[in-house]
A = this chain, B = another copy of it.
Amino acid sequence: MAPSTAHDGPLGLRERKKARTRDALVDAALRRFTEHGFAATTTEEIAADVEVSQRTFFRYFASKEDAVLAVQEHIEEKFLAKLAARPLEEPPIEALSNALRDTWAELDERTTQTQLLVLRLLEDCPPLLAAHLRRLSEHQDRLVELIARRTGVDPATDLRPRLVAAAFGSVSHVAHVVCHQRGCRGAADLRSTIGECLDELVPALTEPWGTAGPAAPAAD
């Protein structure tokens, strides 16, 4: 359940305390939101759980939503690193897809559980979804830059980096929604759903649809 914001390194006492407070706030927010709902929870309650003032809560997070969404930073950073590590010969969409698979391949079960929990929250809480989508769009802007650099095209004149980043981003969002809809429970479920979505995108766009199902029908 805890956020696990990898804080190793030689940090001062001060820094470690801050990290602990932050983690505790995320934890408390997650718990209260799941138990009583996002709307029914006040930032003061979250702060009280951790025994800090509301003002302190807002020094750690810019908004109530951010306390939950913070758990995604970790994954986003990892993803960018994985992408940078993919061989340059891979076509952009392949590199992105593989980077995403690489990312989820090495997340531990607890992190995955937290993610699934957040996805559930997103689904039945519009303001949370809105904040999440905005984050995603900022993440996509960074993706555009990386893709442009990796392929050597100019994102100001060439639309393709934007298009691929956007398509990819929306597919990974679909994967999340589908995970929630299917009631995925563990890392394995999540990974296979993500894999399916990535695999089916291009065929869905380019191949005729037999009504019987996609090229690789679900084994049921």
Interface residues, chain A, with chain B CB atoms under 8 Å away:
91-93, 126, 129-131, 133-134, 137, 151-153, 156-160, 162-164, 166-167, 169-171, 173-174, 177-178, 181, 196-197, 200-202, 204-206, 208-209, 211, 213-214, 218, 220
Do A160 and B200 contact each other (CB < 8 Å), given the known contacts A133-B137, A205-B167? yes
**CA–CA, A218 to B155, complex, Å?**
13
Kindly identify which residue among B130, B196, B201 contacts A167, using a CB–CB cutoff of 8 Å.
B201
Kindly identify which residue among B162, B163, B164, B174 contacts A163, using a CB–CB cutoff of 8 Å.
B174
CB pair B171–A166 under 8 Å, yes or no, is: yes
Minimum Cβ distance to chain B for residue A171 (Å):
6
**Which residues from B are CB-within-8-Å of A153?**
209, 211, 213
Minimum Cβ distance to chain B for residue A7 (Å):
28
Kindly identify which residue among B131, B133, B158, B167 contacts A171, using a CB–CB cutoff of 8 Å.
B167
CB pair B160–A209 under 8 Å, yes or no, is: yes
**For residue A158, which residue of chain B has the nearest CB?**
B213
**Which residues from B are CB-within-8-Å of A220?**
157
Kindly identify which residue among B91, B206, B218 contacts A209, using a CB–CB cutoff of 8 Å.
B91
**Which residues from B are CB-within-8-Å of A159?**
174, 178, 196-197, 200, 204, 214
**CA–CA, A162 to B176, complex, Å?**
12
CB pair A208–B91 under 8 Å, yes or no, is: yes
21 A-B contacts, Cβ less than 8 Å apart? A91-B208, A126-B134, A129-B134, A130-B134, A133-B133, A153-B209, A153-B211, A156-B181, A158-B213, A159-B174, A159-B197, A159-B200, A160-B200, A160-B204, A164-B205, A166-B170, A166-B173, A166-B174, A167-B201, A167-B205, A169-B170
**CA–CA, A176 to B205, complex, Å?**
21
**CA–CA, A162 to B134, complex, Å?**
20
